[in-house]
Amino acid sequence: MSETERIRQLRKELEQHSIAYYVYDNPSITDQEYDRLLEELMRLEEKHPEMYDPNSVTQRIVGQVLDGFAKVEHAQRMLSLSNVFNKEQIEEFCARILKEDSACQFIVECKYDGLAISLKYENGALVQASTRGDGTVGEDVTANIRTIPTIPMYIEEERPVEVRGEVYMPKESFEALNVLQEERHLPLFANPRNAAAGSLRNLDTNVCRQRKLNIYLYYFQNASDFGIESQQKALEAMEKLHFRVNPIRKLCSNADEIWEFISEMAQKRSSLPYEIDGMVIKANSFALQQKMGTTAKAPRYATAYKFPAEEVETRLLDITIGVGRTGRITPTAVLEPVRVAGTLVSAATLHNRDRIESYDLKINDKVLIDKAGDIIPEVIKALPEKRDGTQRDFVWPEFCPVCSSRLERLEGEADYYCINPDCPARVVESLIHFVSRDAMNIDGLGDKKIQQFHEWHLINSIEDIYRLKEKKDELLSHKGYSEKGVDKLLDNIEKSKQNSLAKLLFGLGIRQVGSKAASILAAHFGSMDALMAAREQEIADIKFIGKVCARSIRDFFEGPDNARLIEHLKELGLNMTEEVHETRETPFTGKTVVLTGTLQNMGRSEAKKLLEEAGASVSGSVSKKTDLVIAGENAGSKLTKARELGVPVMDEEQFMKEIRL
């Protein structure tokens, strides 16, 4: 056998072993044997670069950084599903279908909480993997899909095959990922679906591989090419091709049987290793599917039953009182730990005093909590009927738990505030905000370090961060602080001095000034001095800023402590200016613009930047407030919506002309 033939053979063989291992959990050779074959393949591939194949097992583990994701138009629209929420609605759905064909069967499958992916194979090899996108146009995510070991790169079928399924993040991977995110001070993922989508759309394929995604296939796009007549047969055919298909599914003849299976799955749901948010019911026969057809959005022959938001009972052990950056007091429920929607929950927000009183909550009460697609779980109900005499009242504090100043409730607001600006809790929260990612983004200075340095009196104010270098010896005297580590931290602090004015402004934590407002203000005024000198009305007149924000900015700078803080930061060498791009009057100035479709001349982010420099606000969705839509190639639903609403549309050629003027 020639070496090139051997390469082909090894690729096939290794792929089969890999599928046996990952898809069937049933290794067909030992790890050592596998590694030996893999090494042989790597050696031969190195010798024969002309044989390069991105689908080779060797390539699944080679990381690459992508420029972006090309748009892909789907040959057949990727539809979504209508929803039903109870047995009655399932009965109605079944009745509609049984009216067409009284002998019809239904197949009930899990509804995975991930994202839909289409996989195309030609001559037995994967050629393209794309996301659903808006249903018509998705994104080419082939490079990231190759990192998922349960997706075959080669199949035993020469004819074209297109299958669709759901890429998801197993519960275990999701929990591990959020632990890691927390350690790195990165935002947590709200649910496995967001985490899966974020991973597949990451430009670094290594990141996607580490995220440990998986897939279930549930749709054989061109099944008719193979004479397949039903969904059940299509799933079996996909299984034969070694696609990962869920064995949990059931053929049912009527609504009662469907409901029975759904109830059974509702029980089993929490013990599955992946998240499901419902069950999908499909008419089994393709002939009937064809006959019933689809609406603009969803097939008439299928629907999704959605499980009710998961509610879990637990015990309220205590209520703690937190003080935020603005002094706002937030009560938090301390709970007996329970698992909700895939994560372990031991705390939940109680919002404010009114909420506690309206629920008539007592410490040691049984409570119901839910976590409807959100990170922050919520107490939704107290269960007073379950009291056993061990309950006691919760007394709302009169004084700040941290600095003991009297708490105040502002007119017309539900919240209480600690109004002492020197309250240590407020100071720490402000410092944490200042160093956070969207603000000054000082690496190595996370929440815990800030707290620690504050306790050690090393950092009591924002200025102190930049004076930390004067206290290096003291820092080094603490356990766990090495010369190298401290130098790195001090270096990061120094570097942050060069940050944009926008980041600094956001970091100062001026009420009403979020990161977007901070960018607009920095771009408009170009310097801290100009902003500080501006009259309230002048600030209020800036598009997207407004009166309330302007008042708050004036209040901030008029406070003597804040003016002094800015002076000190200037002396310490922080950048106080922003490169001002002259805002010429263009057709985009002051307009709310939406970009859609693919631009040939530049990427989305570049177009966005140019538009913002021209004084436009770029928004992600089309509404009545949109002034203009710029449509590139393959523009989808946003363009349709713009036309419906009568929003002016500009093509790329015209956009290039106007923006370059």
Tally of CB atoms within 10 A around 93: 22
| 10, 23, 81, 163: residue in contact with ligand IVH (rule CB under 6 A) | 81
* C-beta of residue 428 within 8 angstroms of C-beta of residue 450: yes
Q: How far is the CB of 587 from ligand IVH (least distance, A)?
A: 37
- Name the residue nearer to ligand IVH (CB basis): 18 or 150: 150
Q: Give the C-alpha separation, 139 to 187, whole Å.
A: 25
Q: Give the C-alpha separation, 315 to 248, whole Å.
A: 34
282 assigned to active site = no
- Name the residue nearer to ligand IVH (CB basis): 116 or 635: 116
Q: Distance of alpha carbon 436 from its chain centroid, rounded?
A: 18
Query: Could you say which residues in the range 496-515 bind ligand IVH, by CB under 6 A?
Result: none
Q: Contact between 424 and ligand IVH (CB under 6 A)?
A: no
Long-range contacts of 221-225 (CB under 8 A, 24+ apart): 221/75, 221/76, 221/118, 221/162, 221/163, 221/164, 222/160, 222/161, 222/162, 223/286, 224/286, 225/159, 225/160
Q: Contact between 217 and ligand IVH (CB under 6 A)?
A: no
Q: At what angle do helices 255-268 and 87-100 cross, to 10 degrees?
A: 140
Consecutive H or E run containing 409? strand 407-409
| Residue that is written with structure tokens 């007119």 in the block | 411
Interaction pattern, residues 142-171, with ligand IVH; x per rule: CB under 6 A: ------------------------x-----
Q: Contact between 79 and ligand IVH (CB under 6 A)?
A: yes
| 15, 45, 109, 370: residue in contact with ligand IVH (rule CB under 6 A) | 109
Q: Contact between 219 and ligand IVH (CB under 6 A)?
A: yes
Of the listed pieces 17-25, 79-87, 198-206, 420-428, which binds ligand IVH according to CB under 6 A? 79-87
Q: Which two tokens stand for residue 543?
A: 């598009």
* C-beta of residue 451 within 8 angstroms of C-beta of residue 428: yes
User: Per the residue annotation, which of 71, 87, 99, 111 is the catalytic one?
Assistant: 111
Q: Contact between 275 and ligand IVH (CB under 6 A)?
A: no
Q: Contact between 224 and ligand IVH (CB under 6 A)?
A: no
Q: Contact between 111 and ligand IVH (CB under 6 A)?
A: yes
Instruction: Spell out the residues 6+ positions from residue 632 whose beta carbon is closer than 8 angstroms to its own.
Output: 595, 596, 597, 598, 599, 600, 652
- Name the residue nearer to ligand IVH (CB basis): 81 or 228: 81
Q: Contact between 302 and ligand IVH (CB under 6 A)?
A: yes
Strands 106-112 and 392-393: unpaired
- Name the residue nearer to ligand IVH (CB basis): 161 or 493: 161
Instruction: Spell out the residues 6+ positions from residue 599 whose beta carbon is closer than 8 angstroms to its own.
Output: 607, 630, 632, 633, 652, 655
- Name the residue nearer to ligand IVH (CB basis): 163 or 302: 302
- Name the residue nearer to ligand IVH (CB basis): 110 or 335: 110
Of the listed pieces 36-44, 105-113, 521-529, 534-542, which binds ligand IVH according to CB under 6 A? 105-113
Which amino acid appears at position 442 of this protein?
Answer: I
- Name the residue nearer to ligand IVH (CB basis): 280 or 549: 280
Strand partners, 399: 406
| 27, 198, 299, 526: residue in contact with ligand IVH (rule CB under 6 A) | 299
Known catalytic residues are 111
| Binding residues vs ligand IVH (CB under 6 A) | 79-81, 109-112, 116, 132, 166, 218-219, 280, 299, 302, 304
